[in-house]
Amino acid sequence: MSEQISESDNDLEELLLRESIVSATGLNETSVQIGIKGDPSLRETTLERKKYESPVDKVITQIVENVEDLLLNRSTYRIFIGFNSGEIRTQSIFDPLRQEIHAAEKLADKSYIERQFPLISYADKIQGMRDIYQAIQQSKMFECVPSHWKNIFIKRHKSWEPMLESEICTIMQSMKIMRELPDFYLRNITICIVQDLVRMQFNCDGTQIISAENYQKFLEDNIPGR
């Protein structure tokens, strides 16, 4: 009987990891880049719509510099930048279940960054992520998790590696270029150190989800001169 249960758990585990766009373990080796088509009415009228300078565009150089600082030297582990809306959302290792929302022009101000985002080394932040998942695994709450999910969680925890610091720098260096593309330009971007991926939406309403290690290849394949 225990062998039958084990086989069933394995089947469920494989199905769960296979059927999600981004699974509990992230993007796998066979899908390091995923494209999702959005609203066809937006896609078909992309070139007819005029591009306007947004609040983020006016301070993009400072924002890129400060966001890189947030990800490398401060508490932020996940960030969303809405170029059109001027909305920036962050999540902190010190308060991982909450999301904070900031105006773009605020994140261009270095003194605002220093007030709002505590310093922590990248190595300590990564260790904090490992400690959080270890605490969940050892908690009474974890007893409620079905066995096939426990298998996924434990395997992921043992093999997990975060986004590299060099990958963060590559992503940030390309952001202004992606925003200034003449036709299909960047509308928003999410960078997540924990999941080691980048999610980008463009003005054609298309979405690209890319593993950080494959991001440079994405640039080379899609951006002239990269």
> Each residue of 130-184: pLDDT tens digit?
999 999 989 999 889 888 788 888 888 888 888 999 999 999 999 888 888 777 7
Q: Band of the pLDDT at 1, cuts 50, 70, 90?
A: very low
**Structural domain range at position 88:** 2-222
SS3 224: coil
Residue 213 and residue 196 in contact, taking contact as beta carbons nearer than 8 Å = yes
CB neighbours (10 Å) of residue 162? Answer: 19
Instruction: Give the pLDDT confidence score for residue 21 in this predicted structure.
Output: 54
Instruction: Give the pLDDT confidence score for residue 193 in this predicted structure.
Output: 94
| Span 39-68, pLDDT tens digits | 555 544 454 456 667 888 889 999 999 999
Instruction: Give the pLDDT confidence score for residue 47 in this predicted structure.
Output: 47
Is the per-residue pLDDT at 215 higher than 90? no
| Span 104-122, pLDDT tens digits | 889 999 999 999 999 999 9
Is the per-residue pLDDT at 74 higher than 90? yes
| Span 78-95, pLDDT tens digits | 999 998 888 999 999 999
The sheet with strand 87-92 has its strands ordered as 33-36, 207-211, 197-202, 186-192, 76-82, 87-92, 95-103
Is the per-residue pLDDT at 4 higher than 50? no
Instruction: Give the pLDDT confidence score for residue 195 in this predicted structure.
Output: 84
The length of the chain, given as a count of residues:
226
Q: How far apart are CA 208 and CA 221, in angstroms?
A: 13
Higher pLDDT, 166 or 225: 166
Q: Which long-range contacts (CB under 8 A, 24 or more apart) does 197-201 make?
A: 197/22, 197/26, 197/27, 198/171, 201/38
Domain count, the chain: 1
Is the per-residue pLDDT at 33 higher than 60? no
Quick one: average pLDDT of 69-74? 98
Nearest-5° angle of CA 64, CA 61, CA 47? Answer: 90
Is the per-residue pLDDT at 20 higher than 50? yes
Is the per-residue pLDDT at 25 higher than 70? no
Burial of 192 (0-12, 13-18, 19+ CB in 10 A): buried
Instruction: Give the pLDDT confidence score for residue 22 in this predicted structure.
Output: 56
Quick one: average pLDDT of 94-106? 93
